[in-house]
């Protein structure tokens, strides 16, 4: 279901910035102070030329004479005083700019935190197809790299923008005061420079978008290759695949090089336009000495201000490129916000609280309440297999254990994803206890499901956290679940026990131990519907037999779906469903199906 989301754009960014009015006001006042402190600096030294070297006293000496004793009325003293004043002003300017940058950093960090929260809160609502499409690295790239780009734009660019604009306005005012003709020329030229540079900068957005896409592709390939390290090393193909990753890194490098040098070239082209104007300023200033009353010191002051003007002009040019980079990042983040999400529902049931160890005793089967499941003319497919299911019908009674068999790629896991609401059915209805999934509530259903996948995943944290997923569960309950999963002896031998950090300790779980951990995790939730997807495929025969024996008692009065290729797993099932060509083609117990000609007999012909 498509959910509307506020778009990340310049209007949104402006609104977010304005919500921090206090910090914004402080930063602007500090920016004004920094501009006022820096404004006299280019003027002081050049005025010494007129007033000291050329002996034409003006406002500078007229200000110092009443303050200084007669013994200090000398050129050397004046030069030292002005030098000290310039140093103090520069230091104060630096301090105020640092404070201003700190205020804008606070604003930027809060905005980026808000964006990250929106992205992270979007992920739990996104349909599973979005995770399949973008992959973990692609999603991480948008939540980290693109948000960082937006944050840098706000913190660095916005602070420089205010200082640069104020500085240009202040310098233009001083130049108008010194000589209105020169000042007017500068005022007219600056918008022209900015206009041409903005036209050049349009290309930067496309370059940055290509670079971000290349970064995402490189990260995804690197993550996939690292995850497959064992298999690739065993096949002696590790170097080959890392060469492929390096190829993507080279592609990323090419995009980065193109982005960097073209951005620099456009930057220099824009700045050269300003330099040409600067040369015109200098020529005009020298000419003004001949036809006006401009002094040599004033000319030096004008030259100093022109050089001083280069900094903010350059900053404004850089801001335009940063703006297009931020625009490209916002577009990529908006793509994430625009993805289809799962239907929203009103919570009508409270999550189960699993805190009592008796939930795992022999009476737990009586406490459970199985679910009735029905697929009514359900159709679903992917782009490459559009008719994976075509008007599929099946019925699983409450407290019934059903094994689901099919050829590889026949849709067993997809059927489970449809049942759990990870994929929406394209047509037909899925009924739980006679209600459609929407009416029953997808979250209400998931709270009553215990799912054990073939390849369980760990979260970063301790064994306890991986068993409970943050729920409040007593230690006795955890140890009972581990015992039922035939994992308690192994965990008891660990020095940290339940608090062992699975992500950082020397302990590494094998495939079979991971599956048993997932079984214990399922056991703790005391579900009404159990889904076992090749749940014991990595266990040795002896351990598997013990785990299946424990599961047999646990599954009483619970509905269960078993996906397996081993006959001993089928012993848990009351009924076996054989799926082929998008339909249930066989149904019965092992004895019945072994006597029938069909897919079941083909799958287990050698057993």
Strand pairing partners for 559? 529
The secondary element (H helix, E strand) that includes residue 372 is: none
Domain ranges of the chain: 105-337
Residue of 359, 442, 426 lying closest to 392 (CA atoms): 426
**DSSP strand pairing (435-436 vs 427-432):** antiparallel
Phi, psi values for residue 404, rounded to 5°: -115, 120
Residue 497 is given by DSSP the state G
SS3 label, residue 270: helix
Q: What pLDDT is attached to residue 5?
A: 59
Alpha-carbon distance 17 to 114, whole Å? 12
Phi, psi values for residue 189, rounded to 5°: -80, -35
SS3 label, residue 248: helix
SS3 label, residue 487: coil
The strand order across the sheet containing 401-406 reads: 449-452, 529-533, 559-563, 401-406, 575-580, 583-588
DSSP characters over 76-94: HHHHHHHHHHHHHHHHHHH
Phi-psi region of 526 (alpha: psi -120 to 50; beta: other; left: phi over 0): left
Task: Taking residues 588-592, report their average pLDDT.
Answer: 87
Alpha-carbon distance 207 to 548, whole Å? 57
Is residue 531 within 8 Å of residue 449, measured between CB atoms?
yes
Q: What is the CA radius of gyration of the chain?
A: 36
Is residue 559 within 8 Å of residue 553, measured between CB atoms?
no
Strand pairing partners for 563? 404, 533
Q: In the structure, what pLDDT confidence band is assigned to residue 354 with cuts at 50, 70 and 90? A: very low
Tens of pLDDT along 207-244? 666 666 667 676 666 666 666 655 555 556 666 666 77
Tens of pLDDT along 88-142? 988 998 888 888 888 888 888 888 888 888 888 888 888 877 777 777 777 887 8
Best CATH choice for the domain 105-337 from the list 3.90.1150.10, 1.20.1560.10, 3.40.50.2300, 3.90.950.10:
1.20.1560.10
Alpha-carbon distance 603 to 406, whole Å? 8
Q: Which of 46-55, 362-371, 427-436 ranks highest by mean pLDDT?
A: 427-436
């Amino acid at each position: 279901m498509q959910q509307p989301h506020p778009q990340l754009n310049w209007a949104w960014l402006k609104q977010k910035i304005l919500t921090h009015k206090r910090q914004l006001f402080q930063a602007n006042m500090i920016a004004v102070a920094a501009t006022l402190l820096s404004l006299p600096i280019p003027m002081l030294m050049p005025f010494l030329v007129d007033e000291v070297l050329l002996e034409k006293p003006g406002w500078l000496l007229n200000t110092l004479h009443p303050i200084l004793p007669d013994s200090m009325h000398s050129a050397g003293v004046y030069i030292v005083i002005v030098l000290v004043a310039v140093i103090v002003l520069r230091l104060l300017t630096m301090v105020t700019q640092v404070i201003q940058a700190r205020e804008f950093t606070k604003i930027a960090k809060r905005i980026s935190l808000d964006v990250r929260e929106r992205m992270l809160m979007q992920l739990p609502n996104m349909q599973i197809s979005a995770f399949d499409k973008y992959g973990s690295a692609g999603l991480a790239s948008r939540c980290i790299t693109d948000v960082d780009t937006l944050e840098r734009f706000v913190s660095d660019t916005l602070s420089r923008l205010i200082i640069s604009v104020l500085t240009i306005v202040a310098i233009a005012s001083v130049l108008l005061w010194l000589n209105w003709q020169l000042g007017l020329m500068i005022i007219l030229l600056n918008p022209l420079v900015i206009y041409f540079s903005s036209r050049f900068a349009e290309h930067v957005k496309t370059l940055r978008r290509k670079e971000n896409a290349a970064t995402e592709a490189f990260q995804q390939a690197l993550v996939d290759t690292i995850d497959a390290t064992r298999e690739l090393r065993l096949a002696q193909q590790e170097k080959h695949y890392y060469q492929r990753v390096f190829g993507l890194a080279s592609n990323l490098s090419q995009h980065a090089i193109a982005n960097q040098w073209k951005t620099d070239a456009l930057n220099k082209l824009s700045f050269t336009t300003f330099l040409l104007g600067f040369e015109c300023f200098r020529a005009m200033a020298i000419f003004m000495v001949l036809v006006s009353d401009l002094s040599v010191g004033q000319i030096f002051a004008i030259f100093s201000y022109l050089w001083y003007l280069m900094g903010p002009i350059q900053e404004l040019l850089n801001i335009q490129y940063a703006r297009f980079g931020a625009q490209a990042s916002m577009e990529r983040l908006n793509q994430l916000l625009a993805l289809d999400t799962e239907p929203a529902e009103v919570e009508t049931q409270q999550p189960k609280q699993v805190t009592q160890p008796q939930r795992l005793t022999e009476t737990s089967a009586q406490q459970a309440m199985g679910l009735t499941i029905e697929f009514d003319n359900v159709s679903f497919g992917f782009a490459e297999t559009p008719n994976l299911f075509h008007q599929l019908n099946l019925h699983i009674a409450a407290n019934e254990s059903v094994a689901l068999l099919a050829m590889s790629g026949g849709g067993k896991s997809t059927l489970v994803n449809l049942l759990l609401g990870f994929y929406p059915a394209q047509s037909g209805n899925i009924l739980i206890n006679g209600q459609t999934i929407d009416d029953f509530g997808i979250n209400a259903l998931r709270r009553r499901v215990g799912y054990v996948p073939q390849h369980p995943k760990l979260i970063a944290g301790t064994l306890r956290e991986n068993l409970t997923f943050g729920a409040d569960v007593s230690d006795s309950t955890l140890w009972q679940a581990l015992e039922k999963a035939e994992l308690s002896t192994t965990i008891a031998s660990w020095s940290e026990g339940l608090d062992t950090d699975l992500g950082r300790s020397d302990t590494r779980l094998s495939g079979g131990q991971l599956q048993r951990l997932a079984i214990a995790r399922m056991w703790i939730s005391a579900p009404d519907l159990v889904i076992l997807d090749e749940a014991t495929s990595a266990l040795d025969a002896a351990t598997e037999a013990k785990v299946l024996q424990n599961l047999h008692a646990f599954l009483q009065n619970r509905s269960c779906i078993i996906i397996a290729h081993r006959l001993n797993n089928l012993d848990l099932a009351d009924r076996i469903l054989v799926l082929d060509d998008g339909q249930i083609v066989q149904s019965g117990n092992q004895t019945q199906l072994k006597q029938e000609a069909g897919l079941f007999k083909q799958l287990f012909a050698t057993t």
